[in-house]
Amino acid sequence: MEGRVGYALKRAQAALRGMMDTALAGHALTTAQYAALAALEADPGLSNAELARRSFVTPQTMIQVLALLERDGLVERNPGRGRVLETRLTAEGAARVAAAHATVEGIEARMLAGLDADDTERLLGWLHGCADRIAGPPADGVEPAQPPGRGSSSSSK
């Protein structure tokens, strides 16, 4: 497993998430709450569905995240287009996420220690490229083979 890229990525993600969970607790935030606040800071008025996508949680989980953030006075939700509720940071939410940014930046600096700016830029490009290639259609138009019994269109009669 140690030589598998996917394993190394998941190991790094798990280590990052664990450290963020611990550090963000000092700001009375979870990692999902921080992600939602940061997304709203960058793009005010996002819907629940868009916040869920940007925070890597399900829409159902985001409903719970937003309820807690609203209860704590960090966001406010107002009717937007149609039945969509738009969510915006309150002044307290903006202050909380700004303070948490410094904590997250410190964690990222620790994670990237030993890499210079060019290495960091290359790593970022590689990671974005990996995600884009997996999320998009295959470059050659051929889907990867599925193991027997998984995703096959043949049916037994």
For the stretch 13-51, pLDDT in tens is 999 999 999 999 999 999 999 999 999 999 999 989 999
And the tokens for 96?
Answer: 């909380």
Per-residue confidence band for 145, with pLDDT thresholds at 50, 70 and 90: low
* CA 128/CA 132 separation, integer angstroms: 6
Per-residue confidence band for 148, with pLDDT thresholds at 50, 70 and 90: low
* CA 46/CA 54 separation, integer angstroms: 10
What residue type is assigned to position 43 of the chain?
D
Per-residue confidence band for 146, with pLDDT thresholds at 50, 70 and 90: low
Predicted pLDDT at 155: 44
User: In 3D, which of 112, 107, 110, 67 has the Cα closest to residue 87?
Assistant: 67
- Angle value at C-alpha 131, between 51 and 27, nearest 5 degrees: 40
**Among the listed ranges 30-34, 78-82, 128-132, which one has the minimum average pLDDT value?**
78-82
Q: Does domain 5-133 have CATH number 1.10.10.10?
A: yes
Other residues' Cβ atoms within 10 Å of the Cβ of residue 36: 30
Would you call 23 helix, strand, or coil by DSSP?
helix
Largest CA distance in the chain: 63
3-state helix vs strand vs coil in the chain, percent to 5: 60, 5, 30
Percent of residues, the chain, with pLDDT higher than 70: 89
Identify the helix (H) or strand (E) that includes residue 86: strand 85-89
| pTM above threshold 0.85 | no
Predicted pLDDT at 154: 45
Residue range 145-157: mean pLDDT, rounded:
53
